[in-house]
Chains A and B, each alone.
Chain A
Amino acid sequence: MDRELLIEIGLEELPASWLPPLTEQLGHTLGESLKAHALPATESIEVHGTPRRLAACVPALADRQEDRDETLTGPPVSAAIGPDGQPTPAGLGFAKKQGVEFRELTQIETPRGKYLAFEKKSRGRATVDVLPDVLTQLLRTLPFPKQMHWDAELHDGRGELLFGRPIRWLLFLYGGRVVPYTISRTALAASVKVQDVTSGAVTYGHRFLATSGRAGRAIKVRGFDEYKKKLAENFVFLSRLERRDRIMRELDGYARKVGGHVMLQQSAQAEALLGEVPDLVEYPSVVAGTFAEEFLSLPAEVLTTTLIHHQHSFPIVDPGGALMPAFLAVTNTQGGHDKGIATNASRVVTARLRDARFFWDADRKVGLEARLARLDTLTFHKKLGSYRAKSERVAMLARWIATDVFGQPEEVAAQAERAGRLAKADLATDMVREFTELQGVMGGIYAREAGEPDGVWKAIYHHYLPVGVEATAAPARADLQGAEVTWAAVSLADKLDTLAGLFHAGARPTGSRDPFGLRRAAHGVIRVLADLEALTGLTVRPTLAPLLGQAVKGYGAGEPGHVMEDGAWADLTGFLSERLAYVLEARGADRRNVRAVLSGSVDRPVADLASNLAALPEVAGSESFLALATAFKRVRNIARELPDAEWDEQEQHGPSLGDVLKDPSELALLAEIDKRSAVISQAVMTGAGYREAYVEASKFEPAVEKFFTDVFVMADDLPLRQARLRLMKRLERLILQLGDISEIVASE
């Protein structure tokens, strides 16, 4: 018979950011644990999370494991039975291990011969007896971003139980009955005040609110329906969706009351806050606070950061989009005491804003440039010196990018250099020391206040962008007006300098550890280069390798190979290549196509990879192209026989291929190559016409096929063999300009 399983893990407040992924993992982990214990759930598991509880319900779970028939293989019959037909010690040992008499064993045929076997019939255990093991596995495998010691242990042979937060109660019901379970406390801690956590049939409502009786008292429940009902009565919205809806409704209502609306669409910060608040409360209510109008003279960025980041409150904007001197806070209360809470909250916001205004006035008095000196005391990285040194490198690199890569005149280069030099100065301002999330933005604002031109202040303001691969991560063209080119130069210079420096210092990311945000920096570089024309109007098509090389030079004189060890340089370029693949795939390209166009990627214009990738799928489906892709693998294998140096030598000084080759099929292929190379090379050189190039390339296919049918490359005649190898290599080189198309037919 199927019965309901209900588990609630009662916890001290979990971090809000953990809840959505953790709740999802709860269902997954419980499902896995049930499966591992031969108790698969027949219906989907319902899961919920609030700051103080993780709850899962399996509506129908069989009350017994399935019976299991398995064949256990023992030693070979030849070793288990002696020449006399009697069981050997090995044979008897296997029987003993299975707890049966030797005669109960059977023999089975295997590819390696006859083996002794035991047909084991296991009767499934009662679910209620298995469930404790299911919970143990669940508790052991729930993935927390960070675990803590809380003096708890399980008797599963693994000892201490680390967890996200201390567990304070366990609701553990199967078919309405408590499944006995105990989390023990370690000997050093166990006492009257530190006791085992034992499973029960009770839950707890809101910390402070109750319709009747004392808040926080134990509430008895027998099943999931009653559980949900009792929690609702005791001021807990179990469903995150309901909490979010209620917050949205209340925010909307309150904002309208003061004649504005909640700042949401305009602010990614506010949107992120809306994603967070449902996981900070069990019973959300909104209160409205105000602050003095005089603070509206602060930059909007400072106001919104204070409200959103520091006070977890929502700014309100008037119909014209301007900030109003009011905010909305989401609380974990019933309402009815709004005034007192709002007064207190307003006082906190006012204190923050007063601080901010103090910083605003003080910083402007000092000026941004004067802050540069203080960057001496700010470490960029312990092996790479201070932010002052970084500022100098970024300034010179930004100038070099503006002139040598973007081909800009001196005035633009001078602005890029200045923006690069000042970009990090705000790290030493009072405002950014307090409001670190305003770095960049604040520097831009201070530069503007100091009268710097658009090309400088806007470049500083946006230089951290783009921070990700999403379409919204880059600044809008309208916001950059007058600073498109200098912004691109500084944004690239900052990130390239960080990448080069940290690889130089041996701090490359490993696994999930990326403390310096190098992946993000790489994604930023790639995005700027890939979308350069759309973002800035520049039509140059920079490649990664020279940019990286120049950034490496910033750390010392000389060529890349001299400053940076070859291993680190290979790591750095390999890392960028890998990140390129990631970004291209994140933008929806097929993995195999990405691998095809990525060969030698750091030496190709980044912007071309996208147009190349856009063209490839158009031809990749055609039969002749697929056949060519298949043949290309063979071409590459053969071409490998001719070392690069030797090929270069022969192409320059060797006999003309047309004089040595004699088979009509190979002469035909040579003619094809001569005929089609122009279109392909032209496309690669200009970055346009990849589609035509691929169409042209696929026309090789009949000639290639005929060549392989008629010609044996490794002929005994040495000059002929060399010529044929050269032909293969020529074809390889030509097609490789487009990409290693053999990848598109590679198995995943």
Chain B
Amino acid sequence: MTFQDLIFKLSDYWSAQGCLIQQPMDIEMGAGTMHPETFLRVLGPEAWNVAYVQPSRRPADGRFGENPNRLLKHHQFQVILKPAPDDVQDLYLQSLEACGIDLRAHDVRFEEDNWESPTLGAWGIGWQVLYDGLEITQFTYFQQAGGLDLTPVSVELTYGLERFAMSLQGVDNVFDLEWARGVKYGVVRRRDEIEQSQYAFGQVAMPEEEFGQFHRNLFTQFYDFAGTLLESGLTLPALDYCLKCSHVFNLLDSSGSIGVTERTAYILKVRQLAVAIAKAWTTPPDAISALAETGDAPPVVTDRRESNHGS
């Protein structure tokens, strides 16, 4: 199964389960959780079911396209089911079957792995799903986001697409993955990995201090403007700028431009923004809430078959 076939299979499967198929967020981010379709939609009482691919950038993980298992940018397939259905584990396992896995012939296990994001003020309880010892999915019951308790509880499924595809294709080097028939992952992405890694580690024609200062300034500008947007009641644009802050912080970190005390202070700032945004989202100004009410009711997972507790 090619990389893109895997995306199609998962999209088809979750679409058939009643999920809205959304598109990636068009701003750099470290994980699909930061996409408003997750970070904001898990807040508040409304049901919401959505799935999307999110390219996820982690500057510190850059390896110049040389490491067969590590990427600066990888792809997550993200599913949010709110509220978490009773048979969510079965639904998830069937998604693996939809991708061609014979559950009886492999060792699929749920092993404890709770998730936490200090910058988002979010955490949850759950597992990493192991497929013959390989972690292919993070499975999380969200308990808090933006510092707010969540009712009802959402479930977040995050498939690591490259890893999953490598295992399905039986390849040992991510760049040997078939993205489409006859087109290797390396052809599509290697140059991006090399250049982005160079940037992430500060290998830029600019003195080191200037590089750091430039990004510090960016952070400050994004941060201040996010505050202005919040004051203007513009929650979604504010989230855009919060994400920009988070990414610039990651770059400052990967390029070694910040020291210990600064680092903690930056994390705290992003977190403060995230918390303020979550609060603003759940208590929108009247005008916005009136607008929201004219929209259609969110999709609900269709009751495809009776609930059971096995596969």
Contact = CB atoms under 8 A, between A and B. Distances in A.
Interface in A257-291: 280-281, 287
Given A12-B89, A344-B167, A191 B300 contact: yes
B230 interface: no
- With a 10 A CB-CB cut-off, give which of A207, A214, A354 has the most chain B CB atoms: A207
A345 B104 contact: no
Given A208-B104, A344-B167, A345-B133, A13 B311 contact: no
A149 B259 contact: no
A238 B133 CA distance: 24
B112 A16 contact: yes
Contacts of A191: 47, 83, 300
A403 interface: no
Nearest to B262: A377
Nearest to A216: B310
A430 B59 CA distance: 15
Given A149-B143, A217-B308, A195 B86 contact: yes
B132 A193 contact: no
B69 interface: yes
Interface in B258-311: 258-261, 263-264, 300-301, 303, 307-311
A188 to B, nearest CB: 5
A333 B106 contact: yes
B45 interface: yes
B46 to A, nearest CB: 9
Contacts of A378: 260
A518 B243 CA distance: 37
Contacts of B259: 376-377, 386
B115 interface: no
Interface stretch (A334-342, A483-491, A500-508): A334-342
Interface in A314-363: 329, 331-334, 337, 340-341, 343-345, 347-351, 354-355, 358
A193 B221 CA distance: 45
Given A351-B68, A354-B69, A344 B86 contact: no
A681 B105 CA distance: 75
B134 interface: yes
B309 A311 contact: no
B107 A331 contact: yes
Given A332-B107, A348-B134, A379-B264, A150 B153 contact: yes
Nearest to B134: A348
A351 B172 contact: yes
Nearest to B87: A193
The interface size bin for chain B is: 35 or more
Interface stretch (B144-152, B180-188, B210-218, B232-240): B144-152
B125 A148 contact: yes
Contacts of A340: 105-106, 132
A192 interface: yes
Interface in B13-62: 45, 47
A194 B84 contact: yes
Nearest to A51: B110
B311 A208 contact: yes
Nearest to A204: B309
B114 to A, nearest CB: 8
Given A151-B152, A347-B172, A386-B260, A195 B106 contact: no
A169 interface: yes
B118 interface: no
Given A341-B107, A348-B132, A385-B260, A148 B152 contact: no
Given A194-B86, A216-B308, A341-B132, A280 B111 contact: yes
A137 interface: no
Nearest to B151: A188
Which among B108, B125, B131 has the highest number of chain A CB atoms within 10 Å? Answer: B125
Interface string B64-107: 00011110000000000001111101100100000000011111
Interface string A71-110: 0000000000000000000000000000000000000000
Contacts of A386: 259-260
Contacts of B300: 191, 193
Interface string A715-736: 0000000000000000000000
B109 interface: yes
Contacts of B90: 216
Interface string B124-158: 01010001111000000101000001111100000
B151 A149 contact: yes
Contacts of A364: none
Contacts of B47: 191
B152 A348 contact: no
Interface string B151-186: 111000000000000010010100000000000000
A380 to B, nearest CB: 9
A166 B103 CA distance: 23
B309 A216 contact: yes
Contacts of A189: 83-84, 151-153
A31 interface: no
A215 B309 CA distance: 9
A355 B66 CA distance: 11
A13 B260 contact: no
A341 B151 contact: no
Interface centre among B93, B107, B172, B301 (most CB of A within 10 A): B107
B153 A149 contact: yes
Contacts of A354: 68-69
A168 interface: yes
A586 interface: no
B250 to A, nearest CB: 14
Contact of B150 (A149, A193, A332): A149
A208 B85 contact: no
Contacts of B263: 377, 379
Contacts of B307: 193, 195
Nearest to B104: A208
Contacts of B133: 311-313, 329, 344-345, 348-349
A106 B150 CA distance: 56
Contacts of B112: 13-17
A718 B112 CA distance: 75
Contacts of A348: 132-134
A233 B83 CA distance: 35
Given A192-B303, A216-B311, A344 B143 contact: no
A341 B106 contact: yes
Interface of B: 45, 47, 67-70, 83-87, 89-90, 93, 103-112, 114, 125, 127, 131-134, 141, 143, 149-153, 167, 170, 172, 256, 258-261, 263-264, 300-301, 303, 307-311
Given A189-B153, A209-B104, 18 more contacts: A12-B89, A150-B141, A166-B84, A166-B141, A168-B309, A189-B151, A204-B310, A216-B310, A287-B107, A312-B133, A333-B104, A337-B105, A340-B105, A341-B106, A341-B132, A348-B134, A358-B67, A377-B260
Interface of A: 10, 12-17, 51, 146, 148-151, 165-166, 168-169, 186, 188-189, 191-195, 204-209, 214-218, 280-281, 287, 311-313, 329, 331-334, 337, 340-341, 343-345, 347-351, 354-355, 358, 376-379, 382, 385-386
The 6 residue pairs across chains A and B that have the minimum distance between CB atoms: A216-B310, A344-B132, A15-B112, A193-B85, A189-B152, A331-B107
5 contacts: A151-B153, A195-B86, A329-B107, A337-B106, A377-B263
